[in-house]
Chains A and B, each alone.
Chain A
């Protein structure tokens, strides 16, 4: 199979002969196929790795569980004179739920709950009015003195936690739950035989499906019991982090990028600055954490704890607030924001700038009205990706002091806080397997949060991108 070139008289050719050439072509084609295959294998490895990641998370987030209730909800409902077939625990009146609580918890626990947040606006359940007034008029009143009464969902969650007290004694991952549910029964039986569940009797055990990632999980605050622990505090903490990170990194980053691209002359100093920004983008996040600890938590403590803004008691006793963490993450995202904004600005053709300036516009007018709108989609995309990356960081948050256990939602920039990655990290390091399940469920929440941010980046890019030639 040769395609013959027309015969020509050749004095001395440096090209291979026809036979050699045929061999060469076969060899080259073969080599090309190998490399194509190698690239495909590389892609497969990448896809496989991502699929395994998702598989692990989802496998742990759903599946069969063996639950033992200290009190069966049906018995509780029946105890109040309702028909368990008609009324479920969740349908009880607010007063009935509070009554259940007061009947089932010790007065010490009840008082603590009430001091955290009271049950009724007009009366007290566990606390005597005298002590209450004393506590509230003291120099350190409890939160319950100023907060509104608990909502129904909150009380219901307390009833589940304190009265029903469900205990997941064993959990089974999703895939074996689907393929081999009998295996779980076997596991429970073996557990009883070996005495692992000696405090319960086999009749108490209920096997049920459990989606660890569910609306209640998302809505509930942090708790020491994995069955009722939720991630509301962590989600709100992460959202505060997003807000503060964006508020800090975007104006500063875009401003710096505009200066570097539109104004800076190519001096040695500016080249030095540029190189260092590029280097900063590669600095490990733990180092940003140390920086944040030294600067925002310690040096600017009066600012980040809010003491600077209030005359009396500062909102937070130290600088380990969501503001410090947000600024640290902002600092972490800053180099990437600057670089991506620079790229977006550089992609705007110079002819647009010339056109603006030739009309007698100042440089700022030209940048503001002509260059920035064109660069905006690119800036937004880069910024959102940088912020998404930063918000998933764990190490700097640990250093600047994210709380590992906190049940109250962050209420402002000076709040103590926790964040989703911190929560996942904490739960994963616990020995009880149920914590691993909720860690996986929290991972889903974190991935969804980041996916939302990335989707926003894509949507903004598509909506605002304009064609410039």
Chain B
């Protein structure tokens, strides 16, 4: 597949997001968090998370409300920077490079680690523009037909092409909720990311649309690494290779999330190591 994105070495190889010396991957993990904690002001939202996300795998983050799983997800591409009071301590390594290091521009991080949100949020523009825009802002140099190819490729990857190929100039809002969410996935794919973060991507969708998104995730993991936050344990069991279970601890300072268990999915759902995990997945709380 041709790559019309900028030829600058650091962008041509999306695995390396820092300038300077090319990092040889020391670890097979795509993303690794090392003792990561997130604060909102003085309040500790998530404490001491150490996780390794593998290439071409789907990793699910599950847990009860308020356990900080979305916070963890948003820390992986520095979307938490947008919250003025949020502060991340510890390290998040992307192919061995700490994305919170001073010399890293969050713009580069977000381009390489894309994101799909809970509620479908297409731009109030045409379907075509929704997808082309991400490429354009990232310096897409190809011709008009190259851009059209890119849009088609992204829509095909998101299993949306057949439904929208005749109405690319129509508004993104003219699509159904499930189609909008696949449009958002196509939009994320079009900037050629390496990792896709999904924050409860199906919670606003009906079961049929949910099934389609899940099928799509399984296809996409051939190319991308996917990390998904979900409320739906069946969904985690159906699509993910590994699952991290978070729980919330209520102290006087407030509710702090922490990682309880991180195992291959089948193992976590059948023979959980922790009592808390077992209680949660069998529905005794949460």
Enumerate chain B residues within 8 angstroms of A269, measured Cβ to Cβ: none
A360 to B84, Cβ gap below 8 A? no
Asked if B138 is at the interface (CB within 8 A of a chain A CB), the reply is: yes
Asked if B161 is at the interface (CB within 8 A of a chain A CB), the reply is: no
Asked if A351 is at the interface (CB within 8 A of a chain B CB), the reply is: yes
Give Cα distance in the complex from A361 to B108, angstroms.
9
**Quick one: which of B93-134 are within 8 Å of A by CB?**
107-108, 110-112, 114-115, 117, 119, 121-125, 133-134
A359 to B110, Cβ gap below 8 A? yes
Give Cα distance in the complex from A370 to B137, angstroms.
12
Closest to A349 in B: B121
B173 to A467, Cβ gap below 8 A? yes
**Quick one: which of A311-361 are within 8 Å of B by CB?**
349, 351-361
Provided the pairs A359-B187, A469-B173 are in contact, do residues A266 and B84 lie with their beta carbons within 8 angstroms?
Answer: yes
Asked if A466 is at the interface (CB within 8 A of a chain B CB), the reply is: yes
**Quick one: which of A437-454 are within 8 Å of B by CB?**
none
Contact residues on B (Cβ < 8 Å of other chain), bracket? 20 to 34
Asked if B82 is at the interface (CB within 8 A of a chain A CB), the reply is: yes
Asked if B191 is at the interface (CB within 8 A of a chain A CB), the reply is: yes
A residues with a Cβ closer than 8 A to B are 265-266, 349, 351-362, 365, 369-370, 373-374, 466-469
A354 to B124, Cβ gap below 8 A? no
Pick from A266, A354, A467: contact of B117, CB under 8 Å: A354
Other than the given A358-B79, A359-B111, A467-B171, 9 more pairs (CB < 8 A) read: A349-B121, A359-B138, A359-B191, A360-B138, A361-B133, A370-B123, A370-B124, A373-B125, A469-B173
B191 to A360, Cβ gap below 8 A? yes
Give Cα distance in the complex from A466 to B171, angstroms.
10
Pick from A353, A358, A365, A374: contact of B77, CB under 8 Å: A358
Enumerate chain A residues within 8 angstroms of B123, measured Cβ to Cβ: 352, 355-356, 370
Enumerate chain A residues within 8 angstroms of B133, measured Cβ to Cβ: 359, 361, 369-370
Enumerate chain A residues within 8 angstroms of B171, measured Cβ to Cβ: 466-467
Enumerate chain A residues within 8 angstroms of B124, measured Cβ to Cβ: 352, 370, 373-374, 466-468
Closest to B193 in A: A360
Closest to B106 in A: A357
In angstroms, how far is the closest chain A Cβ from the Cβ of B281?
30
B184 to A355, Cβ gap below 8 A? yes
The 4 lowest CB-CB distance pairs between A and B, nearest first, are A360-B111, A351-B121, A359-B134, A358-B115
B82 to A357, Cβ gap below 8 A? yes
In angstroms, how far is the closest chain A Cβ from the Cβ of B178?
15
Closest to B130 in A: A355
B79 to A360, Cβ gap below 8 A? no
Provided the pairs A354-B121, A369-B137, A467-B173 are in contact, do residues A360 and B108 lie with their beta carbons within 8 angstroms?
Answer: yes
B79 to A357, Cβ gap below 8 A? yes
Give Cα distance in the complex from A117 to B114, angstroms.
71
Return 20 A-B CB contacts under 8 Å, by A number.
A266-B84, A352-B121, A355-B187, A357-B79, A357-B82, A358-B79, A358-B114, A359-B110, A359-B134, A359-B137, A359-B138, A359-B188, A360-B110, A360-B111, A360-B134, A362-B107, A374-B124, A467-B173, A468-B124, A469-B173
Give Cα distance in the complex from A362 to B110, angstroms.
10
Enumerate chain A residues within 8 angstroms of B79, measured Cβ to Cβ: 354, 357-358
Bitwise interface map of B from 180 to 201 toward A, beta carbon under 8 Å scored 1, else 0: 0000100110010000000000
B117 to A355, Cβ gap below 8 A? yes
B188 to A358, Cβ gap below 8 A? yes
Give Cα distance in the complex from A374 to B84, angstroms.
24
Closest to A370 in B: B123
In angstroms, how far is the closest chain A Cβ from the Cβ of B108?
7
In angstroms, how far is the closest chain A Cβ from the Cβ of B99?
13
Enumerate chain B residues within 8 angstroms of A374, measured Cβ to Cβ: 124
A361 to B119, Cβ gap below 8 A? no
Give Cα distance in the complex from A150 to B257, angstroms.
85
B137 to A354, Cβ gap below 8 A? no
Pick from A358, A370, A467, A469: contact of B110, CB under 8 Å: A358
Taking each of B107, B111, B119, which has the highest tally of chain A beta carbons within 10 Å of its own beta carbon? Answer: B107
A361 to B134, Cβ gap below 8 A? yes
Enumerate chain A residues within 8 angstroms of B138, measured Cβ to Cβ: 359-361
Enumerate chain B residues within 8 angstroms of A359, measured Cβ to Cβ: 110-111, 114, 133-134, 137-138, 187-188, 191
Give Cα distance in the complex from A370 to B123, angstroms.
7
**Quick one: which of B223-244 are within 8 Å of A by CB?**
none
Enumerate chain B residues within 8 angstroms of A466, measured Cβ to Cβ: 124, 171
Give Cα distance in the complex from A353 to B81, angstroms.
13
In angstroms, how far is the closest chain A Cβ from the Cβ of B275?
37
Provided the pairs A360-B138, A369-B137 are in contact, do residues A351 and B82 lie with their beta carbons within 8 angstroms?
Answer: no
Closest to B133 in A: A369
Pick from A349, A354, A365, A369: contact of B82, CB under 8 Å: A354
In angstroms, how far is the closest chain A Cβ from the Cβ of B15?
15
Closest to B197 in A: A358
Enumerate chain A residues within 8 angstroms of B110, measured Cβ to Cβ: 357-360
In angstroms, how far is the closest chain B Cβ from the Cβ of A363?
9
Enumerate chain A residues within 8 angstroms of B119, measured Cβ to Cβ: 351
In angstroms, how far is the closest chain A Cβ from the Cβ of B12?
15
A360 to B121, Cβ gap below 8 A? no
A361 to B84, Cβ gap below 8 A? no
B137 to A360, Cβ gap below 8 A? yes
Provided the pairs A354-B79, A370-B123 are in contact, do residues A360 and B117 lie with their beta carbons within 8 angstroms?
Answer: no
Pick from B77, B111, B112, B121: contact of A355, CB under 8 Å: B121
Closest to A361 in B: B137
Closest to A369 in B: B133
Pick from B107, B122, B173, B184: contact of A360, CB under 8 Å: B107
Closest to A351 in B: B121
In angstroms, how far is the closest chain A Cβ from the Cβ of B127?
14
